[in-house]
Amino acid sequence: MEWANQNVLVTGGTGSFGKKFVEIMLKEFHPAKLIIYSRDELKQHEMRGSGFNHPSLRYFIGDVRDLPRLRRAMRGVDIVVHAAALKQVPACEYNPMEAVKTNILGSSNVVDASLDEGVKKVLALSTDKAVNPVNLYGATKLAAEKLIIQSNAYAGGRETRLSCVRYGNVVGSRGSVVPVFLRQRDKGRLTITDERMTRFWLSLEQGARFVIRCIEQMEGGEVFVPKIPSMKVFDLARTIAPNAELRTIGIRPGEKLHEVLISRDESRSTIELEDMFVVLPVEAFWFGGEWKDKGKPVMDGFRYSSADNPDWLSVQQIREIIAPFEDAYLQGKLT
């Protein structure tokens, strides 16, 4: 894929993922145009002021809830990375219709605008919380996933193809527990919900590079799932603050003990590659089955869970991962 000829738009481009994606794009792939589409003018101003002022960059104020604005922003665009979402679980629980409007209806608008403007590829970011969801955020992301994948049927003779990536918790992103634990360490007490809790874990860099790879390989209709390590939240807390008191407060509403990236029911249509899984759409006439010869089917009943994962982060690996965030926190750069 020749990125130098592509015009790329990122919804939610001022977020943690968006900034890392843009950074890598500018340094290594040099697209013809890179459009940051987001609704917060302050974040755009701060992003531009922090060095994101390359001649190929464009900043569009706009909300994914605004279909006419999306159409205008996507005119002449080849690739859309859909990262905009409301993702804080408590906020989504308290403001349910706002989560629906952004995560579901906003995704619908991204689909419509992409089809109307002839975008070639749309890759949407999903989450492990979309699998067997127990909170509204997960439910809206599940609906968004289904909407993105099934909307390939609307493409007809058009060139537009749509896929998703689904991965776990991102170290140090907005809403991450790492900054919370660092702040609590100063007071000598960390709160954890349950000592048994596990999570999938990856860095912003890994997430952004995985998205780039999936854009290059997608045919339309896939859900791409990276193979990533698990981590015990208890180990994370102990690594950040080995001498602090740990207080168990119980699992919060809408929270899982363990996360799942691929459910048992999805295993029937999942293939495994060396470093990722690909969930294929079931009986979709618009999907050519190009992936079926590229990997091997997983066993029937397979489940990719953070509790059963063969790959676990050691305490030393956790220490290495969080070191940059600890340095940033001590310098007052991480809040």
What domains are defined for the chain?
Answer: 3-168+202-227+260-305 (3.40.50.720)
Print burial letters for 269-289: b (CB count within 10 Å at least 16), e (below 16): bbbbeeebbbbbbeebeebee
Q: Which two tokens stand for residue 183?
A: 């702040």
- Secondary structure (H, E, C), the chain: CCHHHCEEEEECCCCHHHHHHHHHHHHHHCCCEEEEEECCHHHHHHHHHCCCCCCCEEEEECCCCCHHHHHHHCCCCCEEEECCCCCCHHHHHHCHHHHHHHHHHHHHHHHHHHHHHCCCEEEEEEEHHHCCCCCHHHHHHHHHHHHHHHHHHHCCCCCCEEEEEEECEECCCCCCHHHHHHHHHCCCEEEECCCCCEEEEECHHHHHHHHHHHHHHCCCCCEEEECCCEEEHHHHHHHHCCCCEEEECCCCCCCCCCCEEECCHHHHHEEECCCEEEECCCCCCCCCCCCCCCCEECCCCCCEECCCCCCECCHHHHHHHHHHHHHHHHCCCCC
In the set 20, 43, 121, 129, the catalytic residue is: 129
Rounded CA-CA distance 301/253 in Å is 28
Q: Which two tokens stand for residue 317?
A: 């690996």
pLDDT at 1: 82
Rounded CA-CA distance 39/57 in Å is 16
Q: Which two tokens stand for residue 44?
A: 């755009």
pLDDT at 335: 61
| Main-chain phi, psi angles of 314, to 5 degrees | -80, 170
| Main-chain phi, psi angles of 315, to 5 degrees | -60, -40
Q: Which two tokens stand for residue 248?
A: 């168990």
pLDDT at 286: 61
Rounded CA-CA distance 187/219 in Å is 51
Q: What are the average pLDDT values for consecutive 10-residue runs of the chain, which has 335 residues?
A: 95 95 97 97 95 95 98 98 94 95 98 97 96 95 96 87 93 78 91 92 93 96 96 92 91 88 95 95 70 87 95 91 83 71
141 as an active site residue: the answer is: no
| Main-chain phi, psi angles of 93, to 5 degrees | -65, -40
